[in-house]
Structure 1
């Protein structure tokens, strides 16, 4: 039931700094969330790489 609650929340959230929620699939006990494709690497890539110049405080905020 918690998954369904999260999906409903994702479906309502719209912000230019967030990837757009497209949908989800739940089959045979597997759950997959589908979001829009965003180029230039993953969030993990940006958090791990100093090249992108993300200040430490912003990296920490992304963790919570």
Structure 2
């Protein structure tokens, strides 16, 4: 696993780009390290749409649903 990466897009930009059914409260981060909240895009099994989730990078744990 790499040490750090950049998540420069805002939640609003990601929602517009991927047409997600929801949005999370996360700002761009230019120094993401392990155990930092990041935005992920997941496909919902129930409604067959893309959803945005906050997850801890490195653990794969959904923080909110």
More helix by share: 1
Q: Would you call these one fold, judging by a TM-score over 0.5?
A: no
The structure that has the greater radius of gyration is 1
Under a length normalisation based on structure 2, what TM-score does the superposition of the two structures give? 0.25
TM-score scaled by structure 1? 0.25
Structure with the larger strand share: 2
Say which structure, 1 or 2, has more relative contact order (CA 8 Å, 6+ apart). 2
